[in-house]
Structure 1
Amino acid sequence: MILVLGGTHEGTELCQWLKEQTISFRLSVATELGKNLYEQFGAACEMHRFTAASLEAYIKKHAIQLLIDTTHPHAYEVKKVAQEAVKQSGIKYFRLERAMMVDGQLLNWQHKLGERLAIVETMEDAIQELLKVHQENNRYMITGTKYIGLFYDYFPKECCYFRVMPSLYSMKECTAYNVPIDHIIGIKAPCAPELNHAFFKAYGITHFIFKESGVGSATLSNLMSLIESNVKGMLISLADHGVHSGEIQGCSDKFLSVEALKKAIGLEGIS
């Protein structure tokens, strides 16, 4: 039995292939929205927010032989939980590493946008850069819910707008931080540049803060949104955060494509 940690388009592609190959698998996602997006897999798709202990117990209960991590590139905590559970369980762990923008591409974007694009390693770095230029009329559009509290630690609520997935989980997070309803932009990414332009105009956005999430993600459309606008962008690059698949005993090398994963699964002989 294979357990896939999903929530990305690569996870969808892999699970569809597993289904076609009649290979037994279970798919875990973190949100109700994710479960709805994977409804074609029926009972094989479950919603969990694992701790290392609960994931280890799940692995034992369902006789999982192989854990495949196809979570979002910035899902550091999930990856650490998975790796700890794998260490304790002694099963194999395959991890998909989505191809990221190479340095040359980022340099091209920096050259194209000049001072209107800053690239930093963490959201904390982004906050420090924004504090240097903060003015009362600045308006920030931030993608995701993870850093709502961090932004509210440093900036007034009226300055912050959050572009989030239109899910129950996102709304719960926004409610927990008392985000004003008209400061929540609920929409599934990627957004067309024209749509982001409309958000910029409607809310008077001066700075757009988003993560580099790799090929096939919203990163490119977010960068394109900065063209023909006066909005300044701040891109959070993919830092390492101590998540190395190679550090796990018995772990195969990271995989850079779903096709490579398929071949490796075939060699494992799991049915």
Structure 2
Amino acid sequence: MGSVRKSLEVALIGGSSESRSLAHVLSHEGIPWIATVTTEGARRLYRDLAGQVIVTRFSPLSLLQFLQEHGIRVLVDASHPFAQEISQLAMQVTAQLGIPYLRYERPPVALDPWVQVASDWQVLLTDGVLAGRRVLLTVGVKALPLFVPWQDRCQLWARVLPESVPRAVQAGIPAERVIGMRLPLSLEQELQLWQRLEPQVVISKDSGEAGGLAIKQAVAKTLGIPLWVIQRPLLCYPWCSQDLAEVVRECQRRLEGT
């Protein structure tokens, strides 16, 4: 007879620093978990924790099969604030299977009044923001193709994670203008980078404290450089909290009720 796979209780959509904190607490509470990430680099977040980690990119079918095969009873989504595709997919599939979906949303950073806030990418892709300027992009590798067509009208630099450098170059940013740096950066590291590149505008995302937005804001103010921040996408979650402890308590409550 074939062996029956043991239920893992909780699936954790991870890759963020907060997902590691959640995994640590789940382990401490004796709750078996499995985390999913999209890169080998992100796997290292969990290297000293007692849980499983797999590197994968889900389709609707593969996520459904994953949840069923591992006997998942609760899904906790602690993905990046701008990873809306996986959040939407997770909400769809868990609703289909009747599995509780819990969202941890990284708290936003309070922005000074002088920071320019863009409601969508198109607000940034204009002559008024980009044309004729030295532009530092700290928007992640996925958004870079939106800016590449502007390279004949402005000078673009892109700061990405070290493992994302090849993707940035493939997207069309010249290799000499791609800076691979591991986050988080200190205030001094951020300041030194901006002083070296001398950007006339910096574009970032509302990724919260873990994304370094507070430090970018401080450096922009110190150097007098305009800072544009793209708002995070607004999704309608069935359950959401900005408190890690509350997410764990709700996870325990749902497990006890299933």
**What is the TM-score with the length of structure 1 in the denominator?**
0.84
Q: Specify the alignment match of 1:185 in structure 2.
A: 179
Q: Specify the alignment match of 1:249 in structure 2.
A: none
Whichever residue aligns with residue 160 of structure 1, its letter is: L
Q: Specify the alignment match of 1:267 in structure 2.
A: 253
Residue 74 of structure 2 corresponds to residue 82 of structure 1: no
Root-mean-square deviation (CA), in Å? 2.1
8 Å CA contact 1:98, 1:214 repeated in 2:
yes
Q: Specify the alignment match of 2:124 in structure 1.
A: 126
8 Å CA contact 1:206, 1:230 repeated in 2:
no
Residue of structure 1 aligned with 2:151, choices 138, 155, 158: 155
Whichever residue aligns with residue 7 of structure 1, its letter is: G
Unaligned runs of 5+ in 1: 247-252
Question: Cα distance, 1:164 vs. partner?
Answer: 0.6
Q: Number of matched residues?
A: 248
Whichever residue aligns with residue 15 of structure 1, its letter is: A
Inter-partner Cα distance in structure 2 for 1:91 and 1:134 = 45
Whichever residue aligns with residue 50 of structure 1, its letter is: F
Q: CA, structure 1 residues 245+133, in 2 after alignment: closer, same or farther (shift >3 Å)?
A: closer
Q: Which secondary structure state, in structure 1, belongs to the residue aligned with residue 48 of structure 2?
A: helix
8 Å CA contact 2:100, 2:254 repeated in 1:
no
8 Å CA contact 1:190, 1:221 repeated in 2:
no
Q: CA, structure 1 residues 175+217, in 2 after alignment: closer, same or farther (shift >3 Å)?
A: closer
Question: Cα distance, 1:157 vs. partner?
Answer: 8.7
Q: Which secondary structure state, in structure 2, belongs to the residue aligned with residue 150 of structure 1?
A: helix
Q: Specify the alignment match of 2:48 in structure 1.
A: 40
Residue 203 of structure 2 corresponds to residue 209 of structure 1: yes
8 Å CA contact 1:140, 1:208 repeated in 2:
yes
1:99-178 to 2 correspondences below 5 Å: 99-101=107-109, 105-106=110-111, 109-110=112-113, 114=114, 117-128=115-126, 131-136=127-132, 138-143=133-138, 144-156=140-152, 159-167=155-163, 170-178=164-172
Q: Which secondary structure state, in structure 1, belongs to the residue aligned with residue 42 of structure 2?
A: helix
Q: Which secondary structure state, in structure 2, belongs to the residue aligned with residue 41 of structure 1?
A: coil
| 1:162-184 C-alpha deviation (Å, 9 max, x unpaired) | 111112xx133123224222211
8 Å CA contact 1:28, 1:46 repeated in 2:
yes
Inter-partner Cα distance in structure 1 for 2:253 and 2:244 = 14
Question: Cα distance, 1:25 vs. partner?
Answer: 0.8
Inter-partner Cα distance in structure 1 for 2:233 and 2:255 = 34
Inter-partner Cα distance in structure 1 for 2:64 and 2:120 = 30
Inter-partner Cα distance in structure 2 for 1:124 and 1:64 = 39
The structure richer in helix per residue is 1
Question: Cα distance, 1:147 vs. partner?
Answer: 1.4
Inter-partner Cα distance in structure 1 for 2:129 and 2:51 = 50
Inter-partner Cα distance in structure 2 for 1:98 and 1:228 = 26
Question: Cα distance, 1:265 vs. partner?
Answer: 2.1
Inter-partner Cα distance in structure 2 for 1:145 and 1:221 = 20
Unaligned runs of 5+ in 2: 1-8
| 1:223-257 C-alpha deviation (Å, 9 max, x unpaired) | 011122132110112231xx2113xxxxxx31221
Inter-partner Cα distance in structure 2 for 1:184 and 1:42 = 36
Question: Cα distance, 1:153 vs. partner?
Answer: 2.1
Question: Cα distance, 1:92 vs. partner?
Answer: 1.0
Whichever residue aligns with residue 135 of structure 2, its letter is: Y
Higher relative contact order (CA 8 A, sep 6+): 1
| 1:85-142 C-alpha deviation (Å, 9 max, x unpaired) | 11222211111122223xxx43xx12xxx4xx311112221223xx225443x11111
8 Å CA contact 1:199, 1:205 repeated in 2:
no
Question: Cα distance, 1:215 vs. partner?
Answer: 4.1
